[in-house]
Structure 1
């Protein structure tokens, strides 16, 4: 809970910033572009909301990804944090180079037919006349299957207990995470990779095959990172994107009439309702003065991706969904050294999923009023709990 708000926005905007953060973001851009929240134990979190500031700070070396800079801050499960998201150069440079080698374009491109095949099987099992949940009946099982492929989960480890555990990891039930079980599973999985060559689509196997370049903890932590990257952002991209289209039927018709519009359209969906609301943890490694506000060493800085992508000084009519918007320099996947490692994979999966939904299910509509949809509580991610639809 926030203890003290400095120059805070109206209470009604704060109350709705999970369901609809964009009026809150607009207020921040206009009145408090560098906004401080005092949290428990004396922590300060600064929210930066304007496009130019967010874009600049995403590459600013004065901001660190090293969680040791702020004692007491826990960015993730113990023993699973030795990956590139929580590292600065030169450590980050080394880890990024190794992971990039696994994410070569050839391997990512090879996943596209698999995505289409998996999406097709899922759509074969639904009847849109009876209604379906685009999150739980489609987006989540689609990305979960892809996760298992990326991790190269062998058949003897692909058990119901494993699937339940991984599902609770990427979308915790009642906040419950089975961290010890997850570490054990990933340790066994990495050991199995050492005994069996990686397949064409096996990104984790390719990392294990790199030899001694990664420590055991780095390998297990990177497997955990792939688990999250391969799921949350893509589920949110599909869900947020489809909701935006359903609420803008003219744009949905345009995309259905011209499937090639997905080229610019997917970037617009990423901009309009970004699957990552705030950039991941950064802390000030030295004092930073921005808009007359002094960010102290050790303060946490939250770069509001969702706000930057609706900045009226950068995007004409930013609250309008325009699938033909071009150029579109959104920041949905970040920028600079920490640009999302899974961006290309997420875009392939999102484009294939949305295209097939429109092709296979016909003319859909929301099965409930839009204001009854529930959003998952998260400061970093923005995604729906469910998205019930039915054919018109």
Structure 2
């Protein structure tokens, strides 16, 4: 029995999917919940859009994280793909165990004063300005400073040039020499790792130093895995939370009544369950910083909604769509910072649940009330449909968020 024909999305929805993917996601959920994207010379990519399907497949053993199962697929910078995001058990279990200790919630909670101090210092520089790009002036340096502190990156490398080297790997500019960018990235990682080795036992107090020791002393991590993991943590630990702050502030600026609920005296990350904690969960759901779940492919055939996903096909689990599924969330397209319960999938689900979730939540809980209070009354400096979004494969984030005082 042949599979039913799958309709194609309207061209006008595809044309704006970087700027606003949510109309396309709604169309997919209604008309083609398992939609194949077939292109000559490329693996078939199945777009899965409904909440129940996405959540179930995030824990489905028939899906593999190993890109080697897809002939010709290149997941990222050459030589930097041997990390926990691209690993199945037992390798995933081994690599995650090595990293996990640095991100347990109780350790992350101790960073709250440091996050607040860095955030306030950044806002000291911009709050008197009449025109501010919140991404460049606040979200990017704050989130990068935090992951650099956890990893133990030297302060002289905690800068915009290092961030640019990393970001070029997920949203390269058309005029950028890809080979040169990749060479710059490898050179950066070599410098970081060599610095930890030169530091001896003292370097083991930070995460990157501990990983280097695990590689050198016990062989628990290969050199390729070490380099790949350093790259992954620097990139993802920065990019996802930067997107949360940018996407979230944009949503609040477009919904001032909701923003007002975050600035009361009772809000703040230190007070446990609070308006700001609930709001961060809603901002994660409403415009998720990770649009698509990280790489998965079918290790064996899977039938879904009358379609057959073939072995070796790529399966794209649309987290952004699942988080707007009206069968799961009442008024799913409406921002409600008091929404409870809120079982969003912004951090994934199951064994690959985002290892940095506690850090992202804490940074958001610190950042949003501070931004709203210290920037004062501001509005977007350009129309919403003119804001630049980075055309990344997995992430959803603004390239700039210019605001101006009112």
Same fold (TM over 0.5): yes
Contact residue 127 and residue 374 of structure 2 kept, 8 A: no
Cα 1:372–1:298 shift into 2, 3 Å: same
Please say if 1:332 is aligned against 2:346. Answer: yes
The one-character-per-residue Cα deviations of 1:358-391 (angstroms, maximum 9, x if unpaired) are 2211122112111211211123111111111122
Residue 223 (structure 1) shift: 0.4
Residue matched to 1:214: 221
Cα 1:33–1:62 shift into 2, 3 Å: same
Cα 1:101–1:176 shift into 2, 3 Å: farther
Equivalent position to 2:195, from 192, 195, 201: 192
Residue 150 (structure 1) shift: 2.7
Please say if 1:86 is aligned against 2:86. Answer: yes
Residue matched to 2:271: none
Aligned residues: 388
Residue matched to 1:64: 64
Stretch deviating more after TM superposition (242-251 or 358-367): 358-367
Cα 1:10–1:71 shift into 2, 3 Å: same
Please say if 1:391 is aligned against 2:401. Answer: no
Please say if 1:291 is aligned against 2:305. Answer: yes
Equivalent position to 1:343, from 357, 371, 381: 357
Contact residue 26 and residue 321 of structure 2 kept, 8 A: yes
Residue 105 (structure 1) shift: 3.4
Please say if 1:234 is aligned against 2:234. Answer: no
Cα 1:199–1:361 shift into 2, 3 Å: farther
Classify the secondary structure of the residue corresponding to 2:41. Answer: helix
Cα 1:176–1:324 shift into 2, 3 Å: farther
The one-character-per-residue Cα deviations of 1:284-335 (angstroms, maximum 9, x if unpaired) are 0000000100000010000000000000110011011111111100000101
For residues 258-337 of structure 1, the aligned pairs below 5 Å read 258-259=266-267, 260-337=274-351
Distance in 2 between residues matched to 1:363 and 1:323, nearest whole Å: 19
Contact residue 128 and residue 390 of structure 1 kept, 8 A: no
Structure 1 unaligned runs (5+)? none
Distance in 2 between residues matched to 1:168 and 1:195, nearest whole Å: 28
Stretch deviating more after TM superposition (88-97 or 287-296): 88-97
Residue matched to 2:261: 254
Classify the secondary structure of the residue corresponding to 1:223. Answer: helix
Residue matched to 2:115: 115
TM-score of the aligned structures, taking structure 1 as reference length: 0.93
Distance in 2 between residues matched to 1:176 and 1:337, nearest whole Å: 36
Stretch deviating more after TM superposition (283-292 or 114-123): 114-123
Q: CA RMSD in A?
A: 2.1
Stretch deviating more after TM superposition (305-314 or 224-233): 224-233
Equivalent position to 1:181, from 180, 184, 187: 184
TM-score of the aligned structures, taking structure 2 as reference length: 0.90
Residue 103 (structure 1) shift: 2.3
Contact residue 150 and residue 201 of structure 1 kept, 8 A: no
Distance in 1 between residues matched to 2:393 and 2:283, nearest whole Å: 20
Distance in 2 between residues matched to 1:198 and 1:40, nearest whole Å: 53
For residues 42-191 of structure 1, the aligned pairs below 5 Å read 42-155=42-155, 162=162, 165-166=165-166, 168-169=168-169, 172-174=172-174, 176=177, 178-191=181-194
Classify the secondary structure of the residue corresponding to 1:302. Answer: strand
The one-character-per-residue Cα deviations of 1:53-92 (angstroms, maximum 9, x if unpaired) are 0000001010101011002101111111110000001111
Residue 168 (structure 1) shift: 4.2
Cα 1:162–1:25 shift into 2, 3 Å: closer
Distance in 1 between residues matched to 2:88 and 2:167, nearest whole Å: 30
Classify the secondary structure of the residue corresponding to 1:125. Answer: helix
Cα 1:43–1:163 shift into 2, 3 Å: closer
Distance in 2 between residues matched to 1:249 and 1:302, nearest whole Å: 34
Contact residue 135 and residue 399 of structure 2 kept, 8 A: yes
